[in-house]
Structure 1
Amino acid sequence: MKHIRITLAITAAIIITAASCASCKSTKKTADEAMTDSAALVGPEFNADSAFNFVAMQCSFGPRTMNSKAHDRCEEWIAKQFEKYGMKVERQRADLKGYDGTTLKSCNIIARYNPDAAKRIVICSHWDSRPWADNDLDKNNWHKPVMGANDGASGVGVMLELARLLQNDSTLSLGIDFVCFDAEDWGTPEWADKASDSDSWALGAQYWATHLPEGYQPAYGILLDMVGGQNAKFYQEGISKTYAQDVVNKVWGAAHSIGYADYFPMTDGTMVNDDHVPLNEKAGIPTIDIIPYYPDCAQSTFGPTWHTVYDDMEHIDINTLKAVGQVMVQVIYTETGEQ
């Protein structure tokens, strides 16, 4: 993914966000900032080495581009891993149309922890990779596929490690739905002979958000996107703040309480078109996006490897995986099962 996005539903927030983005150093503090390092770590230790291996295993299949053998093999592996950790797994298949009319054989992988729990949250990421490295500095790479170690595999790697940690836990009354969205990264390429269409992105998430079981209403959602990059910092994304400010406060407060303030600054980022948009706008699930922002990166504010052939395992930082994973553990283990 991703592109900066503006919709009518968030017009009122544009002026505020634009002002904050005008200067990379402008910040917006919240009361949670005062909580830095004040709370004890709860829950198990997140094993970043294990998460790293999960990322590497996905990449071992090759780029998980739509309709490819690597995509099919990785789908099978992800589903079996969640099943191995005791999750109830569903594969939501659909034929979706790409920006160019290509039929995309899509499969959202849904893994449920504690499926009978009344209160549920959604933790999600996309698992496909981009077919075109259209942001690469070398034009000769623009039609080459992206490995997607960070943009795709990192979020799934964190979710799989969370599932592994939860497999034998009987203390939580909370239910968690891990959702791996497909067909996220078939959005209009920069070299296409047509204008970019925001609806060409996040196709799997759009489908999931409009095909929910009757009565399904999780308390909130957290999207993990590009959570393994080097020198990553996770600013507070604008659409997340518009639809789910309480969840933003919860996650960034948790990060500051356990010593990860450097990774989660109390600073506004941009508005990003990502999988959380249909969850908020179509499903009515307040959902945030944990996504990096590089305000000083000339190549892309999503970082130097975004949509390039260099989005590979050599550019995954185990410390970033650790920070995001441990924050997610903190959020999960400070929740209760009460609606």
Structure 2
Amino acid sequence: SACGPSARQADSTVKHQPKEKITVNVPVFKADSAYAFVAKQVSFGPRVPGSEAHLACADWLSEKLSGYADTLYQQRFRTRVYDRRSFEGLNIIGSFNQSAKRRIVLAAHWDSRPYADHDDDPGNHRTPIDGANDGASGVGVLIEIARLLAENPVDEKMGIDIILFDLEDYGPATQERDRYSEDSWALGSQYWAKTPHLPGYRARFGILLDMVGAADPEFPREYFSQQYASWVLDKVWRKAFDLGYGSYFVNKPGAPISDDHVPMNEIAGIPTINIIHLDPNSVNGTFFEHWHTINDNLDAIDKETLRIVGEVVTSVIYHEK
């Protein structure tokens, strides 16, 4: 159990003593482990839907998560991307304490961008990216949390679902702005929100991780997170501040980002926040500097950032009652 010794006493002679404070034992998030999980994903190559790398990584993620979770769900779906091509996607879901009614969702996307459409070199604009930060970083943090949950179970009344969404990043290239639409992104989470892995699925709240591996990040209060789940932001940002990470989890408004948390909020009705690295001063004007370039590779990953984000999320879920 995650809780310390009970405050109840059997001996009636001590019943008037002050109630013993129950402490919560939060397991230590290991950044080296999370980094290894990021590196493993990148080692397959760009995880672009329809590719061999995508299939191989799906097998590895499913095997890894099934080894930690109580139950693994593989949600296969067929969808069309913005240019009308059809792909088979796979949402991978690991559930802990499946019978618990009170649940928390932790999510990230595991596919990688098919185009380096923001690369400095126009010759790379149709080249797939490794997606080390944009994709693999959030997944790596969540697999490490899954490992911790397997070794240090939370209270049986609290259920955790880790969802790895596919086809988040297959929106049109920047050079095809005329084909842009909000719903051409986050296809896996749109499917899951409309057709959850269990009929009638509900969760108390959700936390999405996206681009949580670059050095010296700033995670502001992203606009849709504030609009739909301000109380979840308050909870997580307060925990980050208590842990000494207030310079990373900053109390300032962030831009609206089309991401997997939008269908989680708008379709599934689960108050969900997005912990996402936003940098209005970067070359692309919104995200970390290597976003949608061929330089979003393992060199862009900083273990300290993985540790900070992992510690905050781990602490939040182990303190949840």
Calculate the TM-score normalised by the size of structure 1.
0.85
Aligned to 2:123: 140
Q: Quick check: 1:250 aligned with 2:240?
A: no
**Residue pairs, 1:230-309, within 5 angstroms:** 230-309=215-294
Aligned to 1:51: 34
SS of the residue corresponding to residue 249 of structure 2 reads coil
Are 1:184 and 1:275, in contact at CA under 8 Å, matched by a contact in 2?
A: yes
Residue identity (%): 46
Are 1:97 and 1:104, in contact at CA under 8 Å, matched by a contact in 2?
A: yes
- Supply the AA of the counterpart residue of 2:311: Q
Aligned to 1:120: 103
Shift of 1:42: 4.8
Of 186, 202, 216 in structure 1, the residue corresponding to residue 170 of structure 2 is 186
Are 1:185 and 1:202, in contact at CA under 8 Å, matched by a contact in 2?
A: yes
User: C-alpha separation between the residues in 2 aligned to 1:170 and 1:153?
Assistant: 25
Q: Which runs of 4+ in 1 moved over 6 A?
A: none
Shift of 1:190: 1.0
Q: Quote the RMSD (CA, aligned, Å).
A: 1.3
Moved more, 145-154 or 165-174: 165-174
**Residue pairs, 1:95-244, within 5 angstroms:** 95-173=78-156, 174-192=158-176, 194-212=178-196, 213-244=198-229
User: C-alpha separation between the residues in 2 aligned to 1:171 and 1:242?
Assistant: 29
Aligned to 1:78: 61
- Supply the AA of the counterpart residue of 2:44: F
Shift of 1:296: 1.6
User: C-alpha separation between the residues in 2 aligned to 1:92 and 1:215?
Assistant: 16
Shift of 1:81: 0.4
SS of the residue corresponding to residue 219 of structure 2 reads coil
User: C-alpha separation between the residues in 1 aligned to 2:208 and 2:185?
Assistant: 15
| Structure 1 unmatched ranges of 5 or more | 1-39
Shift of 1:170: 3.6
User: C-alpha separation between the residues in 2 aligned to 1:42 and 1:246?
Assistant: 24
- 1:206-260 Cα offsets, whole Å, 9 max, x none, are 0000002333110011100011012211011010000001000000001001111
User: C-alpha separation between the residues in 2 aligned to 1:43 and 1:150?
Assistant: 26
Shift of 1:120: 0.4
Shift of 1:195: 3.2
Are 1:42 and 1:329, in contact at CA under 8 Å, matched by a contact in 2?
A: no
User: C-alpha separation between the residues in 2 aligned to 1:41 and 1:307?
Assistant: 40
Q: Which has the higher contact order (CA 8 A, sep 6+)?
A: 1
Aligned to 1:94: 77
- Supply the AA of the counterpart residue of 2:266: E
Are 1:300 and 1:306, in contact at CA under 8 Å, matched by a contact in 2?
A: no
SS of the residue corresponding to residue 229 of structure 1 reads coil
